[in-house]
Amino acid sequence: MPSLKDDLYGRIGALGILVVVTLGILLSRLWYLQVLDGESYAALAEENRLREVSVESPRGLVLDRDGAVLVGNRPALAVTVPPKTATDPVLVRRLSAALGVSESQIIARLKDKRPDPLKPRRIAEDVDRAAVTTVLERQHLFPGAEVQPLAVRKYPYGRLASHVLGYVGELSDNDKKDADFARYDYGDIVGKTGIEREYEAVLQGTKGTVLIEVDAAGRPLKVVRRSEPAPGRTLMLTIDRRVQEETERQLKGAIRAARRGKYKRARAGAAVVMDVGTGAILAMASYPDYDPGAFLGGIPTPVWKRLNDPKSEYPLFNRAVTGAYPPGSTFKPVTVGAGLATGVIGLNTHQVCNGKWVRMGKQWPKWCWKRSGHGTVGFTEAMAQSCDVYFYEIGLAFYRRDGEEVREEFQSYARKFGFGRPTGVDLAGEVSGRIPDRRWKAEFNKSSPEYAPWLPGDTVNLSIGQGDVLSTPLQVVRMYAAIANGGVLFKPRLVDRILAPSGELQHVSKPERTGRLPVSPAQLGAMQESLVAVTAWGTAKEAFEGFEFTVAGKTGTSQVMGKDDYAFFAGYAPVQEPKYAAIIVIEQGGHGGSAAAPAVRNIFARMLGGTPTDARPEDESR
Amino acid sequence: MTAADRTTPPPAPLSRRVSLGLAAAAAALCAYSVLMMYTATHGRQALAVNFPKQIAWVAVGFVLAAAVSAFDYARLANYFPQLYGLNLALLAGLFVFGSDAKGAQRWYDIGPLSLQPSELAKLLVILTVGSYIVHRQCDVDDLGEVAKSFALILPPMALIMLQPDLGTALVLVATWLGMLFAAGLRWQYVLLVVVVLLAVGLLAWQLHILKDYQINRLIVFVNPDVDPSGAGYNLKQSKIAIGSGGVWGKGLLSGTQTNLNFLPERHTDFIFAVLGEELGFVGAGVLLVLYGWLMLSGLRVGSAARDSFGGLVAAGIVTMWLFQVAVNVGMTTGIMPVTGIPLPFISYGGSSMWTHLIATGLLLSIWWHRRPRGVQDVREARPWREGI
């Protein structure tokens, strides 16, 4: 009974094979892991051990044309805590009490899923020093709380030019969709509107990064690499803070004055002052305005609601570039310009104004603003008195010229005067306005085909800047600047130069011509003269009574369905050697001659050294 | 009657008496262990003491191995009841005198020493199973006999599982199977045993005999990303460590996974990950070659044994090493579930080191007392006393 087999040797040999095979398997596994896949595991190991922490860079400064700081930075302190703090209600309550931030806001920031889950969260920015001291001295009460230095925006002039400057805020989900922000992180402070947004790439510095080696518990051990943050570059604007101040004061004053008079609904408006020789914008105002400083550290919800409430007239809205208004009679230079250029009228063309105009048929009467009529008017009188009948005739003539073959000459002239397309100003959010034409009308009334055909009245309305035409105050003032400078349409500019953080000049923006008014020098001269007549003996006579400088301009009173009339005045001065063009629009402010023109005079008075006026003339013109 | 009376010991020089290859492989592994202990504990206050201690374990282990190698292993076969009783007593005594650590009772604390009887149990089981098979003329063609031999290891296994220490219990099963295989267990029975063991494992799962952490380890083995910060963490970090070592490794003391504490249990069960990270494929390959050398030397000793007992003991020892190496390296590289089995000779621990050095000593003894050259028949020598 051999219980132990003779083949013990054989079996031991088999075990030997098993040993070799098993070790071979392990070795090939190692080959796969270390040699074939080694690099990807090496990357994972690096990922394990290294953390990149970014160091904020201060945004660039914004200066006015003389170098006065409009937007600066000041150091502030932020308090951060780890995200897990959210699970400790007692601690949250304590932080809320110490920092003056609501518990719900702290929780919201801690529970925000978007940022890196490992990073500490900022729960309060711009914390006052007493609160910071409390948190730092009582670490045992505020475990994990850390104080982080920050540079926050500072506005030495408060609300001045708030619409031009814009405001900053934390990158939002919406921003993140924008290609400009593709490389940004949540929590980054970015420009939201105005110059801050338009020049985000210039103002935003380059964040510094610190590459830190951490252990498995996340404790930082040493700095592996460090790159210093580079501050953003400085913008020097074309804005002159004194002109801006005066413009804002006049705009606000004009709105108040209109409200004190008959126009109780006057609550908003816009104004622009432009250098006629370069397109540089010296002042741009919109009312109501807002305090950009209120956005620091996240704007409180009630303030945000108020800023976006229709009853507040949208203070965040920059009416100078995003407000599209029927330009009313300020549009009339386009009509005469087109008329002269095409020969529809000559400088000697006269019309008889009886107040009522029935040239489109008795069933379609139209009225001049002066129901009693202007009598026989020539080119200059028509402009000076803003006689609508004269322009109706031009409009009707253009309609007839269009004929079967659709030429839409008038519209194409209007575009050559800079309407119906953005001016290209370096400011986010500019709108195109609208020059209505057949194609637009058909498209607009697609669902009600009975309104789709273009009618004579459409061209006639356009001739006085009414009906469907829309323009921004900036487009209008640019045309007046072009009339002043001999016909050149400049691209409006807000940024004059870009400086390195060191102050070294990096870029100077040059005046850019985007077009020419399509009229001959003689025709332009006649147009200029007629605009001088407006302030000398026409609709703006009273506003410019006794002014030392000759001003050329045009009043406008545009009708908006369901609202009081919008008051316009646009013009330039001094006529002998034109320097500045300006426009003021008062929404529901009444008549251009009474509500808007005096404010423009006062702006010119301040800039040129003339006498301002307190007059708010009664004026029934358009 | 002395050993010298039974067989004529070869009056040969030391080189003939000692399997130099085996001794060199074991010594090289010990040296490797000391090196790895140096790098794994470097700069870590809590672990620093383990480096000199490991040196001490190795030194004492060499003495033990030398002593055992000079002793005629065959006499051990005669002490079956004593060895078996000692084993059970040591394991059972843990529940009374053992010290608690990490929720398991595995150690006797004797002064500065912490002895882990489950390590020694592996050797005692090898000796008792070998003795049982040879002495009782266990017929491995008879499934009943096979079952009886398994019943022999059940009590120590049960005691070890109660500690709980599933890994060591599995080593016992593997070792038992290896010895029965060497004793001639039919291939189909080998297959049957494997199937039965797997079925028992599944049943244990179904009946929730396995502890939660053991089930987690299995789940994580299948899908390490289930819980990357919890149970899957060790496995993931270990794979990263080994993989990132590349061909040449990051160099001693330069493993980032090791030094920044991403690696858990780095001086014990996961020491292979430290080695893989710092010494790369080359270092790991050298280790596996050393193991191969050791095990093949062990098998050569077994085939030169003067009796079946020696052959079986050698087979058992080699199976134990092979199983532990395969499971430990497999675990750290992610091809085996996480099981707390130390890497022989390399992982920190006196009990483990001594067990493997004593095992080496046993093999050296078998070699020393091998049958004279030219004697082919194993059965001629009956080294054990009749009837225990």
Q: Out of A40-44, A53-57, B50-54, which region has the weakest mean confidence (pLDDT)? A: A53-57
For residues A372 and A357, give the distance between their C-alpha atoms in angstroms, rounded to a whole number.
12
pLDDT digit string, tens, across residues A589-613: 999 989 999 999 999 999 999 899 8
Contact B303 A23 (CB under 8 A): no
The CA distances from residue B188 to A496, B181, B193, in Å, are 92, 11, 9
* pLDDT value, residue B227: 56
A281-287 and A366-367 beta bridge pairing? unpaired
Identify the three-state secondary structure at position A562: coil
pLDDT at B226 over 60: no
Identify the three-state secondary structure at position A205: coil
Q: Does B296 touch chain A (CB under 8 A)?
A: yes
What are the φ and ψ backbone dihedral angles of A386, each rounded to 5 degrees? Answer: 60, 40
- What stretches of chain B show up as alpha helix (H) in DSSP? 3-6, 14-17, 20-41, 45-48, 50-70, 80-97, 117-135, 143-161, 166-182, 187-206, 212-222, 231-245, 256-259, 271-304, 308-332, 350-368
* pLDDT value, residue B12: 61
Confidence of residue B268 (pLDDT cuts 50, 70, 90): confident
Q: Is the pLDDT higher at A264 or at B224?
A: A264
pLDDT at A324 over 70: yes
Could you tell me if A386 and A555 are in contact, meaning their C-beta atoms sit under 8 angstroms apart? yes
For residues A606 and A247, give the distance between their C-alpha atoms in angstroms, rounded to a whole number.
9
Q: What mean pLDDT do residues A308-313 have?
A: 83
Q: Is the pLDDT higher at B376 or at A85?
A: A85
Extract the tokens encoding B100.
């608690």
For Cα atoms B216, B219, B223, give the angle at the middle one, nearest 5 degrees.
Answer: 130
For residues B291 and A557, give the distance between their C-alpha atoms in angstroms, rounded to a whole number.
100
Q: What mean pLDDT do residues A537-565 have?
A: 92
pLDDT at A23 over 70: yes
- On average, the pLDDT of chain B sits at 86
Residues in chain A: 622
Contact B308 A8 (CB under 8 A): yes
Number of neighbouring beta carbons within 10 Å of residue A535: 31
Full-model pTM: 0.67
A234-237 and A62-63 beta bridge pairing? parallel
Q: A404-430 b/e with 16+ CB inside 10 Å = b? A: eeeebbbbebbbbbbbbebbebbbbeb
Residue of A nearest to B136 (CA): A3
Q: What mean pLDDT do residues B24-35 have?
A: 96
Contact B240 A9 (CB under 8 A): no
pLDDT at B4 over 60: no
Q: Which residues of B touch A221 (CB under 8 A)?
A: 260
For residues A526 and A341, give the distance between their C-alpha atoms in angstroms, rounded to a whole number.
12
Residue of A272, A242, A237 whose CA lies nearest to A65? A237
Q: What mean pLDDT do residues B293-302 have?
A: 95
Q: Out of A483-497, B89-103, B299-313, which region has the weakest mean confidence (pLDDT)? A: B89-103
Q: What mean pLDDT do residues A277-303 have?
A: 87
Could you tell me if B309 and B134 are in contact, meaning their C-beta atoms sit under 8 angstroms apart? yes
Identify the three-state secondary structure at position A202: helix
Q: Does B319 touch chain A (CB under 8 A)?
A: yes
Q: Measured between CB atoms, which of B137, B182, B276 is closest to A34?
A: B276
For residues A519 and A338, give the distance between their C-alpha atoms in angstroms, rounded to a whole number.
8
Is the bond leading into A288 cis (omega within 30 degrees of zero)? Answer: yes
Q: End-to-end alpha-carbon separation of chain A, Å?
A: 131
Is the bond leading into B164 cis (omega within 30 degrees of zero)? Answer: yes
The residues, any chain, with a CB within 8 Å of residue A104's CB and separated by 6 or more, are none
Confidence of residue B1 (pLDDT cuts 50, 70, 90): very low
Percentage of the residues of chain A whose pLDDT score is greater than 90: 64
Contact B239 A5 (CB under 8 A): no
Q: Measured between CB atoms, which of A19, A31, A37 is closest to B295?
A: A19
pLDDT digit string, tens, across residues A482-541: 999 999 999 999 999 999 998 899 999 999 999 999 999 999 999 999 999 999 999 999
Confidence of residue B387 (pLDDT cuts 50, 70, 90): very low
- On average, the pLDDT of chain A sits at 90
pLDDT at B5 over 60: no
Q: Is the pLDDT higher at A325 or at B233?
A: A325
pLDDT digit string, tens, across residues A441-485: 999 999 998 899 999 999 999 999 999 999 999 999 999 999 999
Identify the three-state secondary structure at position A240: coil
Residue B101: CA atoms inside 13 Å, Cβ hemisphere, count?
12
Which residue type does A273 have? V
Q: End-to-end alpha-carbon separation of chain B, Å?
A: 17
Confidence of residue A568 (pLDDT cuts 50, 70, 90): very high
Q: Is the pLDDT higher at A314 or at A335?
A: A335
Percentage of the residues of chain B whose pLDDT score is greater than 70: 86
A552-558 and A566-573 beta bridge pairing? antiparallel
pLDDT digit string, tens, across residues A218-251: 677 888 888 888 899 999 999 999 999 999 999 9
* pLDDT value, residue A118: 67
Q: Out of A137-146, A312-321, B219-228, which region has the weakest mean confidence (pLDDT)? A: B219-228
**What sign has the CA pseudo-torsion A287, A288, A292, A293?**
positive
pLDDT at B117 over 60: yes
Q: Which of B44, B134, B149, B240 to mutate to test the interface with A (most CBs of A within 10 A)?
A: B240
Extract the tokens encoding B187.
């291939």
pLDDT digit string, tens, across residues B242-261: 999 999 999 999 888 888 88
For residues A185 and A178, give the distance between their C-alpha atoms in angstroms, rounded to a whole number.
13
Q: Which B residues in the span 189-218 are in contact with A, Cβ-Cβ below 8 Å?
A: none
* pLDDT value, residue B384: 40
The region that residue A187 occupies, defined by phi over 0 for left and psi between -120 and 50 for alpha, beta otherwise, is left
For residues A127 and A98, give the distance between their C-alpha atoms in angstroms, rounded to a whole number.
10
Confidence of residue A141 (pLDDT cuts 50, 70, 90): confident
Residue B143, Cβ density class (10 Å: 0-12 exposed, 13-18 middle, ≥19 buried): middle
Identify the three-state secondary structure at position A298: coil
Q: A72-88 b/e with 16+ CB inside 10 Å = b? A: bbeebbbbbbebebbee
pLDDT at B237 over 80: yes
A268-275 and A69-81 beta bridge pairing? unpaired
Contact A7 B292 (CB under 8 A): no
Q: What mean pLDDT do residues A189-203 have?
A: 93
Could you tell me if A162 and A62 are in contact, meaning their C-beta atoms sit under 8 angstroms apart? no
Q: What mean pLDDT do residues A81-101 have?
A: 83
Residue B288: CA atoms inside 13 Å, Cβ hemisphere, count?
26
Residue of B319, B306, B290, B368 whose CA lies nearest to B66? B368
pLDDT at B105 over 80: no
* pLDDT value, residue B6: 52
Q: Measured between CB atoms, which of B242, B257, B308 is closest to A34?
A: B242
Percentage of the residues of chain B whose pLDDT score is greater than 90: 53
What are the φ and ψ backbone dihedral angles of B335, each rounded to 5 degrees? Answer: -110, 5
Q: Give the minimum alpha-carbon distance from A42 to chain B in angstroms, rounded to a whole number.
A: 4
Q: Measured between CB atoms, which of B247, B295, B335 is closest to A34?
A: B247
Q: Which of A405-409, B24-28, B166-170 has the highest mean pLDDT?
A: B24-28
Q: Measured between CB atoms, which of A23, A38, A221 is closest to B291?
A: A23
For Cα atoms A295, A298, A302, give the angle at the middle one, nearest 5 degrees.
Answer: 80
Extract the tokens encoding A385.
């008195």
Contact A11 B239 (CB under 8 A): no
Q: Which B residues in the span 71-100 are in contact with A, Cβ-Cβ below 8 Å?
A: none
pLDDT at B376 over 70: no
pLDDT at B382 over 50: no
A356-357 and A366-367 beta bridge pairing? antiparallel
Residue A569, Cβ density class (10 Å: 0-12 exposed, 13-18 middle, ≥19 buried): buried
Extract the tokens encoding A312.
């507040």
Q: What mean pLDDT do residues B340-358 have?
A: 94
Number of neighbouring beta carbons within 10 Å of residue A263: 22
Q: Which residues of B touch A39 (CB under 8 A)?
A: 246
Q: Which of B136, B187, B260, B371 to mutate to test the interface with A (most CBs of A within 10 A)?
A: B260
* pLDDT value, residue B21: 92
Residue A481, Cβ density class (10 Å: 0-12 exposed, 13-18 middle, ≥19 buried): buried
Residue of B nearest to A30 (CA): B281
For residues B354 and B378, give the distance between their C-alpha atoms in angstroms, rounded to a whole number.
30
DSSP B78: G
* pLDDT value, residue B3: 45
Contact A42 B319 (CB under 8 A): no
* pLDDT value, residue B229: 52
Residue A255: CA atoms inside 13 Å, Cβ hemisphere, count?
22
Number of neighbouring beta carbons within 10 Å of residue A505: 11
The residues, any chain, with a CB within 8 Å of residue A84's CB and separated by 6 or more, are A144
What are the φ and ψ backbone dihedral angles of A539, each rounded to 5 degrees? Answer: -70, -20
* pLDDT value, residue B2: 45
Q: What mean pLDDT do residues A384-407 have?
A: 90
Q: Does B292 touch chain A (CB under 8 A)?
A: yes
**ipTM entry:** 0.92
pLDDT at A135 over 90: no
Residue A117, Cβ density class (10 Å: 0-12 exposed, 13-18 middle, ≥19 buried): exposed
Contact B183 A1 (CB under 8 A): no
Q: Which B residues in the span 367-386 are in contact with A, Cβ-Cβ below 8 Å?
A: 378-379
